[in-house]
Amino acid sequence: MNNKTTAQRASLILGMSLLIFLGCLAGSFFVDFEKVILFQIILGILLVLTVAVYYFGGYYYIEIAVENESLNFRHYNLFPFGRKFKLFQIPLKKFQKFEIRKYFFGIFTFLLVYEKSHKGVARYPRIGLSAVPKSHQKLIVSYIERYSKT
C-alpha cells in the first residue's frame, strides 16, 4: 500500500510553484516600476512559505507492507533537498498501536506508530500523511488496524 501517484502530483506542484515564484522574483529585478519592492517582498514570503509547508507539513511518500512477520513503514519527505529514506520495521508481535494526528486546523496529517518495548511503549517519529488523500488515509487506517493490539 503506497501513495505513489499522489506523491508524484505533490512533488510536481511543489516544483512548479517554486519555479513560478523564482521566475517571477528573478524577472522582477529587470522591471522598473515603483512598487517592485513590495512585489518582491510578497514573492519572497510566498517562496519561503511554500518551502516551509512542503518541508514541515508532512508531505511524504509512504509505503506500508507486511514482510517477514514485520510491519514495514518505508517513507521519505517529498521535499527534494535533505531527503532521507527511512524504514520503520516493527515485528508484528511488538506492534502496539497507531494514531492519526492532525495539526494546523486539520491541514497537516501525521501517522504515529507505537511499539511495545521492554521499558513500556515506544513511539516512532511521526510519518507525514498530508500528501495522502482522505480516502486513502482511511484505507491505511483499516490496513494497520488489522495488526494493532488496541
Cβ contacts of residue 120 below 8 Å, gap of 6+? none
Q: What is the pLDDT, as a whole number, of residue 150? A: 60
Phi, psi at 45, each rounded to 5°: -65, -45
3-state secondary structure 28-59: HCCCCCCCHHHHHHHHHHHHHHHHHHHHHCCC
H-run or E-run covering 66: strand 60-67
Report the alpha-carbon distance of residue 27 to residue 19 in Å, rounded: 12
pLDDT, residue 57, reads: 83
What pLDDT, on a 0 to 100 scale, did the predictor assign at position 27? 83
Torsion of the alpha carbons at 40, 45, 49 and 51, rounded to the nearest 10 = 50
1-150 carries CATH number 2.30.29: yes
> Tell me: the pLDDT tens digits for 113-122?
999 888 888 8
Q: Per residue in 102-112, pLDDT tens?
A: 988 888 899 99
Regions of the chain short of the pLDDT cut 70: 1, 149-150
Please measure the distance between the N-terminal and C-terminal CA atoms of the chain and give it in whole angstroms.
Answer: 22
Q: What local confidence, expressed as pLDDT, does residue 43 receive?
A: 86
